[in-house]
């Protein structure tokens, strides 16, 4: 038997015996990655808002001091959690807390500990992404919101963050995919995700490589589906390129109906309607030619 | 004399050591249409942004109904909700439809009900001729349409003064008319307006007060006839003749 057919045979054997364990691992990995990414994004958004509160010289001193302190805390949080390995953070939180507090503080659930560590980590990365997203929004948007009397919080929630959020979805996707893979380090606190089951299963037999192959395919499948879904979310958030007119516009002049070629009206060269029309025309032409040929 | 709404007193503004505005003094009464004209870099836009507190004046006072709004402890967002502003670059909220753009301020800032806000927004969108486009996103509109929506958004807040910061400068020439028409109509209905503009015809025909600015100071102000037809100062004459030659 050559190597590959043996490998496939072993994979089949492993899967037949342990498929429930593998799927259980996939389930745990996905739950942890999804929950931690969502919480992490929320942490990132909060940090982003805190980091961009405007601070003018004429503001009262207490407000300025509070802002300085808040910014320092956010900065320290980002630097510490971005700058240390997640494995060690898990060890410090799960084993370190009871150790240093004489068992007064400890996590009874390994789930809670794992979610905390991964979300706090994601939050640290997202804080910077959110800051970048907020900076990338045209200052005119803020001015427009301020000009109708919105305060900083209202401006952020209603105008800036929805737009910044759209811009950082690729980053969120990045973090989500990284989380799917990197949650594997949670085995250190005996969290049983996908990779942990691999270790258990190979512990009782020596089919190490076939199991690793199953893991590879499993992780790749998860991340591919994740990327696909994230693309769909982006499309959905961008909304339709078309809109319906409600009735007649009296004031508009000929120029008022102008639309940029990229914006997708039925008349522009890149719209589906236009392509379809041209396609139809070409087919009609082709049909004519073929019938002429028959004659 | 009508009720005084805005009084600018000895207003100055510096960016670092560069003094952009120096000792600006003028008054806006109810129903006034004040045109601020002048060359690029003369401080017109900065003055308007100071009036809306988007820039913090270095010194001087801005009295809104007799109350200074430049001091500490003034609720700037509250003040701004009484003073509408229309920008050169429109600044419509890109994440909202035309209708939502005109509703959001009423609901979040003025705490109006959704239905009332919608009805109000529709009325002003109708007024500027953009009612058919309520479902469109700003990116799908032309410049002139965006600016008319921006005007409707400002009007929906029920402002006492409307500030226009070169509202037609970013528009293609053929779209300037539709925006100026709306502004002229507003002026005719007694809206108090403060307009930074390069449209001399608009300043002459629509405004009742013209302020000519030169290098950060008010060089000359008065009625359109006084300033535009019979300017007293040489700078004003030079500026206007440069305009006619173009």
H-assigned helices in B36-81: 44-51, 76-80
What is the per-residue pLDDT across B156-197, written as a single tens digit (0 to 9) for each?
999 999 999 999 888 888 888 889 999 999 999 999 999 999
**Closest chain B residue to A138 measured between Cα atoms?**
B91
What is the per-residue pLDDT across A134-180, written as a single tens digit (0 to 9) for each?
989 999 999 999 999 998 889 999 999 999 998 899 999 999 999 99
From CA A94, how far away is CA A100, in angstroms rounded?
Answer: 11
Name residue, tokens 């380090």.
A185
State percent of chain A over pLDDT 70: 82
State percent of chain B over pLDDT 90: 67
Element counts in chain B: helices (H) and strands (E)? 9, 10
- Considering only the C-alpha atoms of chain B, give the largest distance between any 2 of them, rounded to a whole number of Å: 55
What is the per-residue pLDDT across A36-67, written as a single tens digit (0 to 9) for each?
999 999 999 999 888 888 776 667 788 889 98
The partner residue sitting opposite B54, judged by closest CB among A146, A159, A239, is: A146
Residue of A139, A151, A251 to mutate, testing the B interface (most B Cβ within 10 Å of its Cβ)? A251
Backbone angles phi, psi at A151, to 5 degrees: -90, 180
Residue of B45, B93, B111, B168 to mutate, testing the A interface (most A Cβ within 10 Å of its Cβ)? B93
Which residue, B89, B88, B185, B78, is CA-closest to B128? B185
Question: What is the model's pLDDT at position A106?
Answer: 80
* Confidence at B145, pLDDT banded by 50, 70, 90: very high
Mean pLDDT of chain B: 91
Q: In what order do the strands lie in the sheet with B83-86?
A: B83-86, B161-165, B192-196, B33-38, B209-214, B217-222
pLDDT: which is higher, A1 or A2: A2
Whether pLDDT at A277 is above 80: no
Interface check for A141 against chain B (CB to CB < 8 A): the answer is: yes
Cβ of A246 within 8 Å of Cβ of B85? The answer is no
* SS3 category, A141: helix
B100's enclosing H/E stretch is helix B98-108
A131's enclosing H/E stretch is helix A110-136
> Which residues in chain B have Cβ-Cβ distances shorter than 8 Å to A263?
139-140
Within 8 A by CB and 6+ apart from B236, the residues are B212, B214, B219, B220, B227
Within 8 A by CB and 6+ apart from A127, the residues are A43, A44, A47, A48, A51, A74, A77, A78
Work out the average pLDDT over A105-109.
82
Provide the token pair at A7: 């490998």
What is the per-residue pLDDT across A111-133, written as a single tens digit (0 to 9) for each?
999 999 999 999 999 998 998 89
Within 8 A by CB and 6+ apart from B240, the residues are B200, B228, B231
Provide the token pair at A243: 């809109």
Whether pLDDT at B92 is above 90: yes
- Lowest-confidence pick of A192-206, A259-273, B165-179: A259-273
Please state the ipTM of this predicted complex.
0.89
Shortest distance, CA A51 to any CA of chain B (angstroms): 20
Backbone angles phi, psi at A148, to 5 degrees: -100, 15
In total, chain B counts a number of residues equal to 246
DSSP category for residue A158: I
From CA A118, how far away is CA B16, in angstroms rounded?
Answer: 46
Torsion of CA A20, A26, A32, A37, to 10 degrees: -160
From CA B23, how far away is CA B53, in angstroms rounded?
Answer: 17
> Which residues in chain A have Cβ-Cβ distances shorter than 8 Å to B140?
241, 243, 259, 263
What is the per-residue pLDDT across B203-223, written as a single tens digit (0 to 9) for each?
998 999 999 999 999 999 999
Question: What is the model's pLDDT at position B65?
Answer: 92
pLDDT: which is higher, B73 or B124: B124
Whether pLDDT at A26 is above 50: yes
What is the per-residue pLDDT across A210-230, written as a single tens digit (0 to 9) for each?
899 999 999 999 999 999 999
Mean pLDDT of chain A: 83
Contact predicate A163/A141, CB 8 Å = yes
From CA B181, how far away is CA B202, in angstroms rounded?
Answer: 10
Q: In what order do the strands lie in the sheet with B67-68?
A: B18-29, B4-15, B59-64, B67-68
State percent of chain B over pLDDT 70: 99
> Which residues in chain A have Cβ-Cβ distances shorter than 8 Å to B59?
none
From CA A152, how far away is CA B69, in angstroms rounded?
Answer: 18
Question: What is the model's pLDDT at position A267?
Answer: 42
Residues 1-40 of A with CB under 8 A from B: none
Which residue, B215, B235, B236, is CA-closest to B20? B215
Whether pLDDT at A89 is above 50: yes
Question: What is the model's pLDDT at position A64?
Answer: 87
A165's enclosing H/E stretch is helix A161-182
Residue B160 C-beta-side C-alpha neighbours within 13 Å: 15
Question: What is the model's pLDDT at position A103?
Answer: 80
pLDDT: which is higher, A238 or B35: B35
* Confidence at A249, pLDDT banded by 50, 70, 90: very low
Question: What is the model's pLDDT at position A32?
Answer: 94
Whether pLDDT at A101 is above 60: yes
DSSP bridge pairs for B36: B196, B211
Which residue, B100, B142, B96, is CA-closest to B121? B100
Within 8 A by CB and 6+ apart from A295, the residues are none
Question: What is the model's pLDDT at position A143?
Answer: 93
Question: What is the model's pLDDT at position A294?
Answer: 47
* Confidence at B2, pLDDT banded by 50, 70, 90: confident
Helix axes A3-51, A161-182, angle to 10 degrees: 140
Contact predicate A104/A172, CB 8 Å = no
Torsion of CA B159, B165, B169, B170, to 10 degrees: -70
Question: What is the model's pLDDT at position A234?
Answer: 87
What is the per-residue pLDDT across B38-83, written as a single tens digit (0 to 9) for each?
988 889 999 999 999 999 899 999 999 989 998 877 888 999 999 9
Question: What is the model's pLDDT at position A290?
Answer: 56
Question: What is the model's pLDDT at position A58?
Answer: 67
Residues 137-196 of B with CB under 8 A from A: 137, 139-140, 142, 144-145, 148, 150, 153-154, 157, 172, 174-175, 177-178, 181-182
Question: What is the model's pLDDT at position A291?
Answer: 55
């Amino acid at each position: 038997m050559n190597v590959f057919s043996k490998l496939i045979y072993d994979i089949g054997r492993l899967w037949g015996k342990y498929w429930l364990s593998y799927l259980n691992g996939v389930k745990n990995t996905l739950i942890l990655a999804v929950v931690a990414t969502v919480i992490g994004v929320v942490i990132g958004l909060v940090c982003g808002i805190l980091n961009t509160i405007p601070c003018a010289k004429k503001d009262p001193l207490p407000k300025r001091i509070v802002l300085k302190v808040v910014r320092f805390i956010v900065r320290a949080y980002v630097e510490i959690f971005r700058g240390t390995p997640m494995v060690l953070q898990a060890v410090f939180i799960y084993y370190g807390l009871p150790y240093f507090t004489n068992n007064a503080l400890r996590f009874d659930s390994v789930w809670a500990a794992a979610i905390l560590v991964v979300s706090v980590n994601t939050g640290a990365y997202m804080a910077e992404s959110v800051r970048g997203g907020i900076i990338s929004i045209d200052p005119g948007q803020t001015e427009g919101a301020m000009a109708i009397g919105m305060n900083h919080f209202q401006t952020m929630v209603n105008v800036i963050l929805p737009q910044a959020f759209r811009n950082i979805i690729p980053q969120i996707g990045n973090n989500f995919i990284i989380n799917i893979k990197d949650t594997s380090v949670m085995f250190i606190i005996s969290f049983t995700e996908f990779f942990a089951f691999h270790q258990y299963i190979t512990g009782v037999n020596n089919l190490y490589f076939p199991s690793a192959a199953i893991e590879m395919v499993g992780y790749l499948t998860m991340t591919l589906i994740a990327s696909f879904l994230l693309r769909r979310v982006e499309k959905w958030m961008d909304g339709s390129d078309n809109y319906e007119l409600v009735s007649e516009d009296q004031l508009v002049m000929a120029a008022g109906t102008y639309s940029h070629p990229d914006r997708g009206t039925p008349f522009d060269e890149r719209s589906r309607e236009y392509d379809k029309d041209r396609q139809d025309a070409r087919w009609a032409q082709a049909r004519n030619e073929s019938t002429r040929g028959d004659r | 004399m009508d009720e005084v709404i805005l009084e600018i007193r000895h207003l100055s503004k510096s960016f670092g050591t560069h003094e952009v505005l120096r000792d600006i003094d003028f008054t806006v009464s109810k129903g006034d249409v004040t045109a601020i004209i002048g060359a690029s870099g003369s401080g017109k836009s900065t003055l308007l942004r100071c009036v809306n507190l988007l820039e913090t004046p270095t010194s001087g006072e801005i009295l809104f109904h007799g109350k200074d709004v430049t001091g500490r402890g003034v609720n700037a967002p509250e003040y701004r909700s009484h003073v509408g502003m229309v920008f050169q670059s429109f600044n419509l909220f890109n994440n909202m439809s035309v209708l939502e753009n005109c509703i959001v301020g009423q609901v979040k800032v003025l705490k109006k009900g959704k239905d009332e806000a919608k009805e109000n927004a529709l009325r002003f969108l109708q007024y500027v001729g953009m009612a058919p486009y309520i479902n469109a996103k700003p990116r799908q509109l032309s410049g002139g349409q965006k600016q008319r929506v921006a005007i409707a958004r400002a009007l929906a807040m029920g402002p006492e003064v409307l500030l226009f910061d070169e509202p037609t400068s970013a528009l293609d020439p053929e779209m300037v008319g539709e925006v100026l028409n709306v502004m002229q109509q507003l002026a005719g209905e007694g809206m108090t307006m403060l307009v930074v503009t390069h449209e001399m015809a608009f300043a002459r025909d629509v405004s009742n007060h013209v302020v000519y600015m030169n290098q950060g100071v008010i060089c000359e102000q008065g009625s359109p006839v006084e300033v535009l037809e019979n300017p007293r100062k040489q700078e004003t004459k030079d500026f206007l003749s440069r305009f006619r030659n173009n």
